[in-house]
Structures are given as C-alpha cells and as structure tokens.
C-alpha cells in the first residue's frame, strides 16, 4: 500500500476566489476586492481608491460559496474528501486590518464553515493570507513594506489559532510566499504583499524587504500557534518553481541551479530558520541594506515550520545564452526561459510535467532531511461547457491528475518521501487568480456561472467527480 492510511485526500480553494459576498457580514475591502478582472492577456489591476463604477470584479460574487457552502461541502463529502483547504478572508475578521477587536460575524461564519466540514469528517486545512490583505493596510501603511504589519498579522493569526485550534490542525501562513514579485510594470502589485508599485524606484529591494517582514510575521505566527496548542501543525506555502537546464552545458546547469533559489530562498528560511549564504550575498552585492534586526533573526530561528506546503502546476527551463527583455512581464518568470521540447502545454502555456512533481518532492525531501510535505495545489485549467447530459467529459483533467498522482505515489513508495496529503486546486470551479476569469475551470464540480454574469449558479458533477471519488475510496490504488 503506497499511501499512508491517513493520507489527506481533498481539494483546495481560496476565500476570495469562491466566497463572493465581498461586502456582507461586516466584511471590509481586501486588495482582491479592488482588483479588476484581466482576461485575454490584459493584466489585472488594483484600484486602491475602491471599486470603480463599471469595472469588472469577478470575485465580488464569485461562485457565492458564502451562501452555498453547506451544499458544496456535501458534494465534497460525497467524493470522500478527508480534508478541504481554504483560506480565511482576513477582512471578514478585521475589516480595515488594524481594529483592536475582531468582527464577531466574520468569526461566526468560519465557526460554522469548520463545523460543517467536521460534521462530514473533513478536516479544514487553513491558509491565513492567500494573495490578499485588507485594503486599509495597503493604502494606510503601504502593505508589507511596513514593519507595522508584522504586529497586525500576529494579532489576526493569534485570533484564528485561539478561536479554532480545536477544529483546525493544519495551518499555512502565506500562500505562495515566494510569489512576491509579479509586477514589473507600474500597473499593480498582486500576490500577498499588497503594496502598490506605482512610482517605485527600487522594486527588488522593496520586494525583499516586504518578504522579510512576511517571513518574520510567519515565524511569529508559527511560534504563537505552538504556544497556544502544541499539537497544531503550521506550514509554509510555496509555489514550486522547479527549473531545468536546457542542456548539459555547465553554464545552463549553473543557471538552473540559481533560478531554483527563487523558491528555495523562502523554504530555506522557513524550514532552517536562517537566511542561506546565497541570499545574504545577494543582498550585499545589490546594496539592498534591508531592515533586518537581531530580534527578527531570533524570531526566524524560533518559528520554523512543521511541514512544507507547496503548489505544483508546471516546470521551467532556462538557457544561459538566451536573455529576453522581460521588463513588461507581469509574472516572475526568468529572462532566460525557453520552451522545453519534451513537454506539452495547457491552453495557458503551462507545461505539463508529472515527473517534475516527483523530482521536486525528492529534492525537498533531500534538502530538508525528510520534512513532511503537503501538495496543496495541483491541477489543470480548461475552458469547459456543459454537454447535453448536464455534465463535462473532462478526460484531460483526469489524465492530468492521474499522471501526477502516479508520480506522487512513486515518490512515496520508491523514494520514501514523507507526504501528508494532496489537495487538487479549484476542486469546484472558481475565479482564476491570474486571469480573473471563471472560464478557466479546474473543478470536479461545474458551476453554471459565466464571466458576463449570466448562469444559474447551479452545480453539476463532471466525469472527474466519480473518478476522484474512486481514487480516494481506494486510497490512490485505483487511478
């Protein structure tokens, strides 16, 4: 038997991508609520002054999970989910981000959500900040470039641990903390940092400063969780950026090695509790002169994580004699990126590379002496419509997930990797983060809702629904 008996099969979502009800229950505005929909290659844009009349904000209603969660969770239970990863909308608890006391109505929503999950024997797996922060913290303090956010996050995190430590065992602090630097242009800044780049002169320094404050905040949260309840498991969450050399040319190999630091810098700090030498040298060389105190370094040492949560969608390939101009890029891709001739791609040009998942599992296992890992996102976005039988024959999704689960099994069985669980992304169709569209679908459950606002909101089981149910029922034996 490859997977442990208690392996956490489930699915993953993020609050602002499915809850909707963006202004209900005393909720304040978050950065995600003022981010326009992108679509067709147009970058999404943050409107710091608040939602603009006529602009398209897909997550304002999303799939209305705020009102439908009981029915949706019943469907997850039918698939046999053992866990469900979602995030807490920080602004349901602290509408502006810096209130002294949390909003009771927001707390009650999550009380009920977690109780509903537990009544179906589904463990909540909770991310505290998934690519959003209260807009107030962004406009008043400049988001994570301000040290003040460490304390404000600590208050939010402590509120959550105190309230739910007996309902939630597995926590993550920041979603994809290594995805800090999205905006190369001056249009917006996305991900978890919540600072606006407009007028920014030294964006990379700001990025490392903001991520340092987040790393300290994360470490303090880990320590606080353990003090409140030593049985809590708090992980980091990174986006796998596995990068291959294009050839055996040592220059390509060396380059790929360095590019892999884009993720490992963050796991190194959070697992080992100290900045690696290559990061220190980078800061010195670039003259970043970051605000890093002795107390910060001690906090990092104390608050090391219990496991590594990570997302896996694709791999990258780099070539040393290629150097594209990426000044307009809105993601954090490398200027040395080339196509990998061995890999197919999705409609969004994301490579499909199941073996890469096993390679990354092995690397993290070797780098961090067998630390527990949790694959908390994986999946394929596809444009889909309901057929005449009110279903979607999503064989491409089944193939994608099957091939990844096979590699995961090999990593556990052959390589001895300590894997806690697997939660495919977007287990129910939701708003895509990158494009802001509903048409990029990931779910086992189809939601009848379209980007132009039409649709009944009804839920339909895709072909993959039954397939995944059998996977879980057989503990990964029947694929």
Out of 109, 156, 246, 425, the residue judged to bind ligand BGP by CB under 6 A: 425
Residues 272-311 that bind ligand BGP (CB under 6 A): 311
Stretch that binds ligand BGP, among 1-9, 22-30, 118-126, 434-442 (CB under 6 A): 434-442
Smallest gap from Cβ 340 to ligand BGP, in A, equals: 20
Determine, following the binding rule CB under 6 A, whether residue 127 of this chain makes contact with ligand BGP: no
Residues 62-101 that bind ligand BGP (CB under 6 A): none
Note if 393 is an active site residue.
no
Smallest gap from Cβ 345 to ligand BGP, in A, equals: 14
Q: Which is nearer to ligand BGP, 212 or 440 (CB)?
A: 440
Q: How far apart are the first and last CA of the chain?
A: 14
Determine whether 26 is exposed, middle or buried from the number of CB atoms within 10 Å of its CB (0-12, 13-18, 19+). Answer: middle
Number of H helices, E strands in the chain: 14, 14
Residue window 346-385: x/- pattern of binding to ligand BGP, with contact defined by CB under 6 A = -------------------------------x---x----
User: CA-CA distance, 244 to 341, in Å (whole number)?
Assistant: 12
Distances from the Cα of 46 to the Cαs of 31, 134, 347, in angstroms? 7, 13, 26
Half-sphere exposure of 54 (CA within 13 A, CB side): 0
User: CA-CA distance, 79 to 121, in Å (whole number)?
Assistant: 12
| Count of chain residues binding ligand BGP (CB under 6 A) | 15
Sign of the torsion angle spanned by Cα atoms 96, 97, 100, 104: positive
Determine, following the binding rule CB under 6 A, whether residue 176 of this chain makes contact with ligand BGP: yes
Out of 9, 10, 14, 141, the residue judged to bind ligand BGP by CB under 6 A: 14
Catalytic hit among 19, 259, 377, 437: 377
* Residues facing residue 84 across a β-bridge: 11, 124
Residues 6 or more apart from 464 whose CB is under 8 A from it?
394, 397, 398, 401, 444
User: CA-CA distance, 317 to 345, in Å (whole number)?
Assistant: 13
Smallest gap from Cβ 350 to ligand BGP, in A, equals: 8
Catalytic hit among 176, 259, 384, 437: 176
- Identify whether the C-beta of residue 215 lies closer than 8 Å to the C-beta of residue 221: no
Stretch that binds ligand BGP, among 23-31, 40-48, 149-157, 430-438 (CB under 6 A): 430-438
Out of 440, 441, 461, 462, the residue judged to bind ligand BGP by CB under 6 A: 440
Note if 377 is an active site residue.
yes
Stretch that binds ligand BGP, among 28-36, 301-309, 432-440, 450-458 (CB under 6 A): 432-440
* Residues facing residue 10 across a β-bridge: 83
Out of 175, 193, 220, 332, the residue judged to bind ligand BGP by CB under 6 A: 175
3-state secondary structure 267-310: HHHHHHCCCCHHHHHHHHHHCCCCCCCHHHHHHHHHCCCCEEEE
Q: Which is nearer to ligand BGP, 128 or 292 (CB)?
A: 128
Residue nearest to ligand BGP according to CB distances in the complex = 434
Sign of the torsion angle spanned by Cα atoms 241, 194, 63, 120: positive
Stretch that binds ligand BGP, among 71-79, 155-163, 433-441, 447-455 (CB under 6 A): 433-441
Q: Which is nearer to ligand BGP, 175 or 332 (CB)?
A: 175
Out of 246, 374, 433, 465, the residue judged to bind ligand BGP by CB under 6 A: 433
* Residues facing residue 39 across a β-bridge: none
Q: Nearest CA to 149 among 128, 167, 125, 164?
A: 128
Q: Which is nearer to ligand BGP, 313 or 465 (CB)?
A: 313
Determine whether 359 is exposed, middle or buried from the number of CB atoms within 10 Å of its CB (0-12, 13-18, 19+). Answer: middle
Residues 310-339 that bind ligand BGP (CB under 6 A): 311
The catalytic residue positions are: 176, 377
List interacting residues with ligand BGP (CB under 6 A).
Answer: 14, 17, 131, 175-176, 239, 311, 377, 381, 425, 432-435, 440
């Amino acid at each position: 038997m490859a997977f442990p008996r208690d392996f956490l099969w489930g699915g993953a979502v993020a609050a602002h991508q499915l809850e909707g009800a963006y202004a209900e229950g005393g909720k304040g505005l978050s950065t995600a609520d003022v981010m326009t929909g992108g679509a067709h290659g147009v970058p999404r844009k943050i409107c710091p002054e608040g939602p603009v009349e006529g602009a398209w904000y897909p997550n304002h209603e999303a799939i209305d999970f705020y009102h439908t969660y009981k029915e949706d969770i019943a469907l997850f239970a039918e698939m046999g989910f053992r866990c469900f990863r979602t995030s807490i909308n920080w602004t349901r608890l602290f509408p502006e981000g810096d209130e002294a006391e949390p909003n009771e109505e927001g707390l009650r929503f999550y009380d009920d959500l977690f109780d509903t999950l537990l009544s179906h024997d589904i463990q909540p797996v909770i991310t505290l900040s998934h690519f959003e922060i209260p807009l107030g913290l962004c406009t008043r303090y400049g988001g994570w470039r301000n040290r003040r956010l460490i304390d404000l996050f600590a208050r939010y995190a402590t509120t959550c641990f105190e309230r739910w430590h007996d309902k939630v065992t597995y926590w993550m602090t920041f979603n994809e903390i290594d995805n800090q630097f999205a905006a190369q242009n001056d249009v917006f800044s996305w991900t978890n940092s919540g600072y606006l780049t407009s007028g920014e002169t030294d964006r990379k320094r700001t990025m490392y400063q903001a991520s340092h404050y987040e790393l300290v905040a994360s470490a303090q949260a880990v320590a606080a969780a353990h003090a409140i309840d030593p049985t809590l498991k708090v992980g980091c969450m990174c986006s796998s950026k596995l990068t291959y050399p294009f050839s055996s040319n040592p220059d390509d190999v060396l380059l790929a090695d360095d590019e892999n630091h884009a993720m490992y810098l963050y796991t190194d700090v959070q697992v080992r509790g100290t900045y690696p030498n290559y990061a220190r040298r980078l800061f010195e060389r670039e003259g970043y002169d970051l605000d890093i105190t002795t107390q910060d370094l001690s906090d990092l040492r104390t608050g090391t994580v219990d496991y590594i949560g990570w997302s896996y969608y694709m791999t990258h390939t780099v070539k040393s004699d290629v150097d594209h101009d990426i000044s307009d890029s809105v993601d954090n891709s490398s200027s040395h990126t080339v196509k990998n001739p061995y890999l197919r791609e999705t409609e969004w040009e994301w490579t499909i590379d199941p073996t890469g998942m096993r390679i990354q599992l092995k690397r993290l296992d070797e780098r961090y002496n067998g630390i527990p890992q949790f694959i908390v996102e994986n999946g394929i976005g596809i444009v889909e419509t309901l057929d005449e039988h009110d279903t979607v024959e999503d064989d491409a999704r089944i193939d994608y997930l099957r091939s990844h689960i096979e590699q995961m099994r090999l990593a556990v069985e052959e390589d001895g990797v300590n894997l806690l669980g697997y939660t495919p992304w977007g287990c129910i169709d939701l708003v895509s983060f990158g494009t802001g569209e509903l048409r990029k679908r990931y779910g086992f459950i189809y939601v009848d809702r379209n980007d132009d606002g039409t649709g009944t909101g009804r839920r339909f089981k895709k072909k993959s629904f039954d397939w995944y149910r059998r996977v879980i029922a057989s503990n990964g034996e029947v694929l």
